[in-house]
């Protein structure tokens, strides 16, 4: 019988965040594919998992070859647990290629729930959680940063502690009043969540910063307004096409959507409503 792949999130800081299911999967695995064998070995020691399963490195430099090797082992009946140094494998960490190859070859893949710095930062930021996207690491070019700031969704991004001050200054130069949060050392002893505008955060994080950093940037108010008024104008257009008078219909749609009647009328007709 073939084995299976079990994807195991590991703590982003606090060892007590390992769930019983994750610990059991690590104990019962024949092989643990890990980003750094030394770091995973230390994790197994802290979890008192002895004797430790066989550890095989699976990092950015060898992930393609390892995915072939590990799927072969699974097809021969071995159970493989996949971990990264911290958090969910495959999210800005090695793991995607192995998971994808297992799915292609009809190998059973089980993903266990567990620690994820992306979700912890999103909720801790206090920013909208209904629509969001993960950017990975922030881009470096100004034009690409502008693209991030035009997002209608809350954006989550990793940043190096050596660059966080520079990045915040660059973002603040484009949108100083945008709401954001800097999440540092989440779940660890020195955890910090700093909330404010990009301008305020850029001034606060001018000096050296230590620890792992996640930035959360609120959605563009301009883009959100553009989406709302676009929906409202569509509704107004349908009413007018059905025979309603534009000015009266604009007042009704404005009351229902919270947009300004004059903005709706102008968007529909190209001219200001006469008072």
Residue-wise pLDDT tens digits, 85-119: 999 999 988 999 999 999 999 999 999 999 999 99
CB-neighbour burial class of residue 10 (10 A; exposed 0-12, middle 13-18, buried 19+) = buried
Pick from 129, 202, 115: nearest CA to 167 = 202
Pick from 184, 197, 167: nearest CA to 120 = 184
H/E stretch holding 262 = helix 261-269
Distance CA 246, CA 146 (A): 36
Domains 4-111 and 117-218 share a fold: no
Domain range list for the chain: 4-111, 117-218, 223-269
- Residues of the chain with pLDDT > 70, as a percent, come to 93
User: Any idea what DSSP says for residue 32?
Assistant: E
Question: Per mean pLDDT, which range of 8-12, 218-222, 225-229, 236-240 is the poorest?
Answer: 225-229
- Residues of the chain with pLDDT > 90, as a percent, come to 70
Q: Please give the average per-residue pLDDT across 245-272, as a whole number.
A: 79
Q: What are phi and psi of 54, to 5 degrees?
A: -65, 130
Q: Report the CATH superfamily, name and number, of domain 117-218.
A: Tetrapyrrole methylase, C-terminal domain (3.30.950.10)
Pick from 27, 24, 1, 23: nearest CA to 10 = 23
Is the predicted pLDDT of residue 224 greater than 60, yes or no? no
Architecture per CATH, domain 4-111, reads as 3-Layer(aba) Sandwich (3.40)
Cβ(263)–Cβ(229) under 8 Å? yes
pTM above threshold 0.85: no
């Amino acid at each position: 019988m073939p084995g299976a792949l079990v994807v195991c999130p590991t703590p982003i800081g606090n060892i007590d965040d390992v769930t019983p299911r994750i610990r059991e999967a690590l104990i019962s695995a024949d092989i643990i594919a890990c980003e750094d064998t030394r770091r995973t070995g230390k994790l197994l020691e802290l979890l008192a998992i002895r004797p430790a399963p066989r550890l095989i490195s699976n990092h950015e430099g060898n992930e393609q070859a390892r995915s072939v090797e590990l799927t072969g082992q699974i097809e021969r009946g071995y159970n493989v647990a996949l971990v990264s140094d911290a958090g969910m494998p495959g999210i800005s960490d090695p793991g995607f290629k192995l998971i994808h190859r297992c799915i292609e070859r009809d190998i059973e893949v089980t993903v266990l729930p567990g620690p994820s710095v992306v979700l912890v930062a999103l909720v801790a930021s206090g920013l909208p959680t209904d629509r969001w996207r993960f950017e990975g690491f922030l881009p470096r070019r100004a034009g690409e940063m502008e693209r991030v700031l035009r997002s209608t969704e809350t954006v989550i991004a990793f940043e190096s502690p050596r660059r966080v001050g520079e990045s915040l200054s660059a973002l603040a130069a484009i949108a100083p009043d945008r709401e954001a949060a800097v999440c540092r050392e989440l779940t660890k002893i020195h955890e910090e969540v700093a909330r404010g505008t990009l301008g305020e955060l850029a001034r606060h994080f001018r000096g050296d910063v230590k620890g792992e950093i996640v930035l959360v940037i609120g959605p563009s108010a301009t883009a959100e307004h553009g989406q709302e008024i676009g929906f409202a104008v569509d509704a107004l257009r349908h009413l007018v096409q059905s025979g309603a008078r534009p000015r009266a219909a604009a007042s009704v749609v404005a009351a229902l959507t919270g947009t300004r009647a004059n903005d709706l009328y102008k968007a529909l007709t190209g001219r200001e409503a006469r008072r």
